[in-house]
Chains A and B, each alone.
Chain A
Amino acid sequence: MSRRSFLRSTALLSAGVAAVAAGLAPLRKLGEFGSVDEFLQKYYKELTPEEMKAVIARIEAEVERQYGIRPHVRDYKPMNGVEFVYALNLTRCVGCRKCVHSCVAENNQSRNPEIQYIRVLKMPNDGTFDVDKGDHNYAPKSVPEPGFFYMPVQCQQCKNPPCVKVCPVKATWQEPDGITVIDYNWCIGCRYCEAACPYFARRFNFTTPSIPKEQINTNMSYLGNRPRYKGVMEKCHFCTQRTRAGRYPACVEVCPTGSRKFGNILDPESEVSYILKTKRVYVLKPELGTLPRFFYYFDI
């Protein structure tokens, strides 16, 4: 090998190595997204209590690193003899969207772009109940507007959920208390469930959620409102961090007209039992056979 060809090939080789290193440089940031522990985490239903404790400690540390605030993550389990049912009074709802934003605040949804679980449909009061005539984006000075009624739509917590059937990795399932939950560490982000849901109840995190530190709700549940990752699905989970501790969901407490009712259908004394016994109720898209646990009703 001549001296010239040695120098040339050395220069080329070092330039090539530098180029490869520079090209791979963005990968250094990958450390922010996941650790080996997260990658090797087992399926939720296979975790022993000790492993769950370690997982929760890891998630708390992750959230603290990302948002600068120490959360309290718990793995709330379904309660025995409880099946949650939601009832919404269409006669009373005025379409003020307070439920939408209390939900965002309670459940640590991404603020930018803002992910909302509840969509309020402004529907013409023409007796057709045609969802196609509904309008999501109404913004008058004052609600309710004459000639319209308002129908909030969120996850209907179906008894026969199409979203669970299509999940290829079983990252979403129905719990014994009727709540369909997602394990954000198991979801691969294929969005099949979003396509399968007839109620447009599932949302996808296209970017890493951005939440201001002072707006983080530190009472978190593993299957509920802990901050989500980029590229996973999320949905309404009836505020598991509240309802599995016996409290009402955030949307029920904030509703200024008392349109939203929530409770245990297995308890004959609960308000939802009373409503299902005495009121005229209907479910959205009954022809699909999804058997929602979310009932709309009228007062008269």
Chain B
Amino acid sequence: MKTTAEKVQLALGIGLIPIAVALAVAAIAMLLNKPEAFAQHLVNGLTLGGLFALIALGYTMVYGIVELINFAHGEVFMLGSFLGLIAVQVLFGWDITNIWIVLPVATVISMIGCAAVGVSLDSIAYKPLRRNPTWGAVGAAAVSFVGLTMVLRAGMEGQMSLGRVGGAVILIAFAWAAFALDERNPSPPRKTPRINALLSAIGMSILLQNLVRIAVGSDTQTFPQMDSFTGLPATSFTMPVGAGGATIEVLYIEVFTIASAVLLMVLLDQLVNRTNLGKGMRAISQDPEAAMMLGIPVNRVITMTFVIGSALAAAAGILHGLKYGGVKFIDGFIIGLKAFIAAVLGGIGNIRGAMLGGFVLGLSETIVVATMEYCWLAIGRLTGSPDTWPQAEFFDYKDVIAFLILVVVLTFRPWGLLGTPEVDKV
């Protein structure tokens, strides 16, 4: 005897089969007839997916370990973009424009800054909910945000001013102090309602957004584009697609984005599966109390989780700035939300799931939408009167389509693509 839910699933599944078949056929037809458009959509989707995946990792890692949805993570991404921009401008000010020097240096600086922000964020907003607060640590974290404001505040022209260096020192030193002070906190973990942590996260998100708005201003800040760097022969290269001699222009930044996303993910995957730290993370995600009894430094591992997640967001922030050419205080909101959805799609708490979810979401917004429109127009041609066939503006509804895919996936696999059913933490 089947339950109603199972019947609904079955009906939906049978209903979806013809749609899926039609889309698959349309995708192949599009690949053959319009190889340029198909390849372009694929590149667009993979780039977008890489960005989503990098940010999604931060959500999923924190959730996997402390069962908290860190909604301020999108803001860390936005800060990463700003800190990277400042670093690039400072280097440009010193006439260092070689991309192979500037980008790694800026990325490392931004990663360190964001890691400090992530640690402070945890100290100020989440740790006091996990156990009795250490007020010294909360205070130190607050001071580190003052340092962050000083870094951002010192004008966006990118001089290496005393205020900026001082701000950076304060940011990092006090974030470290917050972590160190809390290490000695002897109080045992406590359970607070999950909604408290969620509200705390949303509050921090609003706080960080407005901190940047006040420090920098609400206008878009120009991010240097690939043509202002040296060390690359051009900003794009021509890639042949298909057999008919068709080509598309691929931007180096798109290659960078996809390549660094994949590289960072491989590194992270190795870290989680091969190192002691990774072992600790996996142990805590299974059972924090048992992990503590076995001598795993739970606090330190949780802090490291925030550090790694924030550093990945910082990398995404720089790539995002380079790709789009501008950064604004509100930028973390929409992309943060989408990355969170990517994490859910892949199975929240599962690291490989977040990577997969990011790419699935990125491709849904581009190539799946394009295929749907192609399919729709093809049906129009089959009816014999393509001129009277209603125009469907699929691209107007790319977000709706991406979310529909999410709904369908979660109907069949409520735990996400790679999540495991027994880890029912929501």
Is B one of A's binding partners?
no
